[in-house]
Structure 1
């Protein structure tokens, strides 16, 4: 029960982060006073001059590398950001594998203390601490990226070059009302979440199934209402995550297969040993009997003589 509470807390936190991000981004759009150039951000507040300004400069610089294509500039931004938070992702993977490893112990705790939920919670937390498992580790990458989403959102409005730029069928400063990008962002979000449920079946129960349906819907709604540059960032980020998780988790299946093969092999070996033991015992049982019968036969032969 405590484990389920932990999982619910984790995914409700993710849902809360998404709702908070919607609220913050909705209030981040500039008022009637629109900044006309990126350099004007230097004279803005702390957030504009120290965060948004450098995001806008970075996007301008990346766009220059691709002849003014801001769509590719957003891709470079994704690669840089996701690479910087890779240590957090690795920590998440490590925690996920540790959670899988201690699952049998968690089941024992739930069965042993099924009538005392408080004891279940205490023993579960003790087990987490002993094995250095953090159930909330999966939230860290999303929480860390939240300021980046907000800064990118602001840099779109404060950067007229990006706001008016077209990339493929998109105008990056306006929502994509053709539904193409929102659908791509939602579909890759669902695929990413679905991929995680298969890679970590132990943790992906209950709340995760709920989030697997709700999270893509939230992404679709936001992608339909926000400037296209932001859902484009999500789409790129989802693709990065899918490829990353493939390489990070692909050894899981190999390890499971090796364990299963080893288990089957040991089982076959046990069966062979059992058969050998039975045969040996049978020979031991038969040999004395044969000797006894032969001796009796000799005695009867002597008597007949």
Structure 2
């Protein structure tokens, strides 16, 4: 079943490349954009729910601190009191729609990555990239810059929280793209551009909400 799924995506990529004058790189970017835009309503909703949860937790911080002090010697009672406070303010204890979104995206992304990895061995160049089967430093830098832009537009990351640890995903994206086939990096580039769009939409939406 998995092999059929990957082969189907590989065939789709080949067909897209045929429609785009034989450009496999352009086909990869087009597929990335199509998949992420199709999932955008789901991922945007999950991001909005995460932002609302973060906002509620920030408002409850003094009460949570008092509960922690009150039940310092009884972790079980502290957990019960904390869950009761969450229920009172409509805060889900789990990750909610974020988990569902991840469950949908994970197999899709894995299948697409496998199909691209399978296909780049037989294709050549794209723009400045001489070989899509090999890593490309400039592509890795471009993906890192895009990740940084997405981070800057993310309303879930307040200014005071922008520490070195929060910028770690930017460094990780650079090193990962630098060590994989450029064809996979192009998919990451297309997907990352939709992440920027998602964060812009989320930023505009939360600004319209009452303080």
Q: Is the 8 A contact 2:139 2:177 kept in 1?
A: yes
Q: After the TM superposition, which residues 1-305 of structure 1 pair with which residues of structure 2 at under 5 Å, given as runs?
A: 46-48=1-3, 50-86=4-40, 87-117=42-72, 118=75, 119-130=77-88, 131-133=90-92, 136=95, 138=98, 141=101, 144-159=104-119, 163-170=122-129, 171-176=131-136, 179-196=137-154, 199-201=155-157, 205=161, 209=163, 211-255=165-209, 259=211
Structure 1 window deviating more from structure 2 (137-146 vs 164-173): it is 137-146
1:120 positional shift: 4.1
* Rounded Cα–Cα distance in structure 2 between residues aligned with 1:71 and 1:232: 7
| Structure 2 portions without partners, runs of 5+ | none
State the 1:72 CA deviation. 2.2
* SS of alignment partner, residue 209 of structure 2: helix
Q: Distance in 1 between matches of 2:79 and 2:163?
A: 23
Contact 1:95–1:135 under 8 Å retained in 2: no
**TM-score, normalised via structure 1 length:** 0.57
Cα RMSD after superposing both structures: 2.9
The count of aligned residue pairs is 204
User: How far does residue 56 in structure 1 lie from its aligned partner after superposition?
Assistant: 0.3
Displacement of 1:128: 3.8
The residue aligned with 1:27 is none
1:56/1:159 contact within 8 Å kept: yes
Structure 1 or 2, whichever has the larger Rg, is 1
Partners of 2:141 and 2:102 in 1: how far apart? 20
| Distance of aligned partners of 1:190 and 1:127 in 2 relative to their CA distance in 1, 3 Å threshold | farther
Unaligned runs of 5+ in 1: 1-45, 260-305
| CA contact 2:32–2:191 (8 Å) conserved in 1 | yes
